[in-house]
Structure 1
Amino acid sequence: MTAAIKAAIKAEDLKKRYGHIQAVDGVSLTIETGEFYGILGPNGAGKTTTLEILEGVREPDEGRIELFGLSPWPRNTKLLPRIGVQFQASSFYERLTTRETIRLFASFYRISAREADMWLERVGLSEFAGVHAEKLSGGQAQRLSIACGLVHNPELVFLDEPTAGLDPQSRRNLWDLLRDINREGRTVVLTTHYMDEAEILCDRVSVMDHGKVLRTGPPAALVRELDDTVRVSVESGLVSTDAVRELLAAGNAEISAVEDDGVSLTLSTRVPGPVLSVLAAQGALRGLQVRGATLEDVFLQLTGRELRT
């Protein structure tokens, strides 16, 4: 009989305090092998501290943590070849080129120079191989950091805001890379402030705030639970707000708000079908957009809208 596959990560009631600040307050997570998992939260939510505890970089004050059934703390040398880490902020040895840097990290795991150079190509840094690492742009340095964390082909990858500072093209290219390494069977855990990134990449996410996990689930399921209104927009001027209210009332189409900013007429409803039928009957579908709730709406509902510093 085949033995059951252990979860890649199992954390129970993790806690970490810095002085009067409770950075992590009873976090419990189970992340399955091969899963792409996101940890979301505003600044100061405890994401990075949680990730560092999971990585075995930081000791929790309380709680239990296992990676592939093994404790990562104190530093477990059996786990080191199996995990890869990209920190939120990275620094490289001065006077080493990009190629020399990736080859240095590869040598720690007895990975060949040829394989190391292949990772430079995968993250789009081959043309900068001869550039000193400290001369790279912020986005390029971020990609080098990720390559260094992946060069030994780890089973479990931790990424702390991997696309921060990247331009849209680089960000999309990196998404493709992260999808590829996940499809190859690796477990990927990342923190991010980009809700679209989490929706596109993650099988499941946990939303954190004030050191606690507020909600966990697949992004689409969390959005459905929100049960928010759908916003139907058409080009302004096709039909007046008063006329559309009368038509919708006559057709028993429920709307909660009508807005016309001179560019778009937007109707908020929980039942978009009748609204679309009324607009279609009036020939008022030019510029049509239908927007439902997103993971960002879930995030804001759970964590609030006030600015965090």
Structure 2
Amino acid sequence: MGLFGRGRARRQSEHDVAIAHYEAMAAQAGNAAEAEGASGRWDDALMLSEVSLKAVAALAQLEPGDPRHLHGEAASLYFHASALGRNGRVADAVDAADRAAALYRRLRPQNPARYDVLIADAEERGERWRAELAGTAASEPEDDIVDLLRSAADRLLGGQPVSPEVASGLSALGITLTGAGSGRAGLARTNFTLADHMSAKAPDEALTIRQLRLRAHQLFAEGSEAQEAEMRIGFGDYGTDWARTLLVLARQDQESGDTSSLQEHCGWLAGVLGQLRPYTLVDGPTAALVQEADAFLQEAGSW
């Protein structure tokens, strides 16, 4: 009995080691694939996403029926669809997206709100590549980075949760989404950063970008008025983002001739600059920002 017990413990240990190995492989390859895709290196992204899928398949064999591995397979397939499509394997991309949606539907009873978002994302990706396969797409598939940004913006502005896959993709771009329990300053920065990325990658989404900036300003203002710790202690950091947001909004107001919004945003900007001035003595970029904003306010009117 003693020998049997030791043998059983050893087999269990080997099993646990294998699980940990394949979990790490799936995560590392998946994250690397998203980073390669975000940089436009889709051939490398495809290779890495295939590695991630193989690791998830191994996990499914080691622990059959475990919902974590079903979710991991669905998440890997969701990105794999884009990697396949971007490498010209459009029929395979459709199949991968459909399989991801099917797996998410199996998991939906566990958390309907969460998986409804994931199912919709996977189905949308499948339809995109299905249209490309049928030759009915209006144009070449849009860059996945733009898709990622637009999806995140739509959900963020609509007060909806961002799917884990979108959050992971944004992380590869340097955007860290703030959790539901975070302060307004952190949420404002998410809107601010997303607006900057969309401005660079999807300038035709001007209305959405402006809405993100307006939301960022609103959250910064609410956080400041509520005297949240982030705004009191870290104003030298968050305040620069707030000032940049207001400067862009005010310039847009000036270009569009919206004098009412221009006056409102300039008033807020003047107040934020007043709080930033002490930091200009020790921080060059902040000093340059304040100088630029002061010049705009002088041009726009007397403040």
For normalisation by structure 2, the TM-score amounts to: 0.29
